[in-house]
Amino acid sequence: MHSPINKIKLIVKEKIGLDSNTIGDSTLEKIITQRMHQCGIDDFEIYCSLVKNSREELSELLEVAVIPETWFFRDIKPFEIIYKTIKKHLNENSSSILKILSIPSSTGEEPYSLAMYLIDKGIDESRFTIDAVDISTRALQCAEQGLYGNNSFRGKHYHAYQNKHFIKEDDFYKIKTAISKKVKFYQLNILQGDPALKNKFDVILCRNLLIYFDIPTKLTAFNNLSKFLKDDGYLFIGHSEFGSVPDDIFQNTGFEQAFALIKHSHPDFKEKKPVSHASATPAETVKPKIKEQAFKQKVPFESLIHKTADTDTQNKNKNEHLSLIKVRELANSAEYKEAESLCHQYIDHQGENAESLFLLGLIANSQNKSKIAESLFRKCLFLEPRHYESLAHLSLLLQKNGDLKSADLFKKRADRALMTNQD
């Protein structure tokens, strides 16, 4: 029989796909305890009943569980490919319009960055559209508000686009209408999908989302992303997520460091076994056509800017288990030195486990240190023989190195592990 706290974890998993193992059970328990304290409840059974029966409290819990960190122009490599794709489309058809989806859009930094990039490159604003979706109502409200603190501006060259595309308002920066009007925000749960989005997009940016899912949930997400894309459309994901890509739906484009996939024109596949997300969630209640209603009531200004102003404080208070999520995010952004350092810090505090060894292998492989990567993947598999991502990445690595027989063996092991994980 499940304990009350495990029941809550299952509810969170069902609603948004968040696997507590990816962030650490103690972290999720801390989040649950925080909400219980705010509700004046000290009994897990009572709080579990509240979460099951109150959409409002479930929504509040999910808002706390989804704590994004992002900034403008975090990684422009995909933007360069998107720009070239638009140019190609325009050369072939002068009236074509490239449709782009950013998921999760968080508080808007990624889709706004892309709009700024394309316009600054001279692309006419009528030649592209950007849809930006997220499960978090608060994040979307912040994006719609378009007000950002200093934490959203990083790197050496942010002053140029900050001065060009933002207006200073006290201690914050408001994005100009010329950019904000190019991005359409609305709420969506990737695990629920939306028939209205079928075959709609030429390009999808989906980075630092799949890292929170277990393998079956990732497959559900990949299936839905495939449905959203047009044939031969591009999907950009994080590097650490390549090992879980279903190769009967997507294939690697080979674009250096951009981690881009292309949807097969006529995919011959049986849809992967779906994860059950049967009941309606708050994320389903807002559709694009009623976008205005979603933002009719603005939350207080202070809460709209909570992420950009308080991210550093939040990160310091997070449980140590969250560091592996941060390692994945850094690896996805090609910040390998920082990712490796943080991973070693994690191991110093928590000890080696399969996930930390896999991530070190992934980082080594990304830097063309194939022997070190192979050793780390094998060490991971010694601890967890059915670690799907290590099996998949090791198969790809061996194939690249010409050991086709071993690569095939590990590919078959990965397929068996995937089937086991789905059961």
Average pLDDT over residues 327-349: 87
Name the packing angle between helices 336-350 and 354-366 (round to 10°): 160
Percent of the chain residues past pLDDT 90, beyond the cut: 28
Residue 104 and residue 30 share a domain: no
Residue 214 and residue 186 share a domain: yes
Residue 68 binned pLDDT confidence (cut-offs 50, 70, 90): low
Whether residue 146 contacts residue 136, with contact meaning beta carbons closer than 8 Å, is answered with: no
The confidence score (pLDDT) of residue 332 equals 80
Is residue 313, in this structure, part of any structural domain at all? no
Name the packing angle between helices 25-39 and 55-65 (round to 10°): 130
Cα of first residue to Cα of last residue in the chain, in angstroms, is 19
Residue 265 has pLDDT above 70, yes or no: no
Is residue 283, in this structure, part of any structural domain at all? no
Indicate the burial class of 202 (C-beta count within 10 angstroms; 0-12, 13-18, 19 or more): buried
Site of tokens 């109150």: 54
Domain boundary among 263, 290, 311: 263
Residue 31 and residue 103 share a domain: no
Residue 58 and residue 85 share a domain: no
Residue 226 and residue 141 share a domain: yes
Domain boundary among 39, 65, 91: 65
Rounded Cα distance between 18 and 221, Å, is 12
Which is nearest to 274 in space by CA: 223, 227, 199?
Answer: 223
CATH number, domain at 211? 3.40.50.150
Residue 181 binned pLDDT confidence (cut-offs 50, 70, 90): very high
Is residue 286, in this structure, part of any structural domain at all? no
Residue 281 has pLDDT above 80, yes or no: no
Whether residue 169 contacts residue 327, with contact meaning beta carbons closer than 8 Å, is answered with: no
Is residue 325, in this structure, part of any structural domain at all? no
Residue 259 and residue 360 share a domain: no
The confidence score (pLDDT) of residue 24 equals 65
Point out the least confidently predicted range of 68-82, 148-162, 308-322, 384-398. 308-322
Rounded Cα distance between 109 and 88, Å, is 26
CATH number, domain at 389? 1.25.40.10
Residue 213 and residue 86 share a domain: yes
The confidence score (pLDDT) of residue 21 equals 67
For residue 84, which amino acid is it? K
Residue 275 binned pLDDT confidence (cut-offs 50, 70, 90): very low
Residue 67 has pLDDT above 70, yes or no: no
Average pLDDT over residues 360-364: 92
Average pLDDT, the chain: 80
Residue 142 and residue 61 share a domain: no
Residue 247 and residue 228 share a domain: yes
Domain boundary among 65, 85, 109: 65
Q: Is the pTM of the predicted complex or chain greater than 0.95?
A: no
Residue 280 has pLDDT above 50, yes or no: no
Buried b (16+ CB within 10 A) or exposed e, 307-333: bbbebeeeeeebeebbbbbbbbbbbbb
Average pLDDT over residues 335-341: 89
The confidence score (pLDDT) of residue 101 equals 96
The confidence score (pLDDT) of residue 255 equals 65
Is residue 145, in this structure, part of any structural domain at all? yes
Is residue 39, in this structure, part of any structural domain at all? yes
Point out the least confidently predicted range of 38-42, 53-57, 171-175, 274-278. 274-278
Residue 119 and residue 245 share a domain: yes
Residue 85 and residue 44 share a domain: no
* Structure-model confidence comparison of residues 65 and 389, the more confident one: 389
Name the domain count of the chain. Answer: 3
Is residue 300, in this structure, part of any structural domain at all? no
Is residue 329, in this structure, part of any structural domain at all? no
Residues spanned by the domain of 186:
76-263
Whether residue 336 contacts residue 320, with contact meaning beta carbons closer than 8 Å, is answered with: no
Residue 113 and residue 10 share a domain: no
User: What tokens were used for 46?
Assistant: 């009572």
